[in-house]
Amino acid sequence: MTDAKTRIDETVKENDVVLYMKGTKEMPQCGFSSRVAGVLNFMGVAYADVNVLADEDIRQGIKDYSDWPTIPQLYVKGEFVGGCDIITEMTLSGELDTLLEQNGVSFDKAAAEKIREANA
């Protein structure tokens, strides 16, 4: 487990934005992972994706690391942000925009607005 924790810690700290997900950003393998990856992709956020299905130690390790029971999990600048429901709410409220801006992460603000308009 220490190895997984070390690998997770390094990944989260070395990348501005990391999404632990089932599948990849190009091919998500669950609806919740697909939703979060879709938001990030549409908004043009550069992020590292980690496929938890490819490594059982990471799949369990990320849950222990964050003390959060579900996947996907989004990290920004080393901090756990949340899973699918939280990211969806933050996107619709504009909180995700604020979080990204405060952390110097570039994204397409017009795309974020389009998501909110489509869900109004």
The share of the chain scoring above pLDDT 70, in percent, equals 98
pLDDT band at 2 (very low <50, low <70, confident <90, very high): low
Q: Which pLDDT tens digit goes with each residue over 33-68?
A: 999 999 999 999 999 999 999 999 999 999 999 999
Average pLDDT over residues 13-30: 97
Distance in angstroms (rounded) separating the CA atoms of residues 55 and 32: 19
The CATH number linked to 67 is: 3.40.30.10
Residue 84 assigned ligand-binding role: no
pTM over the 0.85 mark = yes
Q: Which of 55, 51, 54, 53 minimizes the C-alpha distance to 1?
A: 55
- What is the domain extent for residue 37? 2-118
For 23-89, give the DSSP string.
Answer: B-SSSBSSHHHHHHHHHHHHTT---EEEEGGG-HHHHHHHHHHHT--SS-EEEETTEEEE-HHHHHH
Domain tally, the chain = 1
Distances (CA, A) of 32 to 20, 41, 88, 94: 11, 14, 10, 20
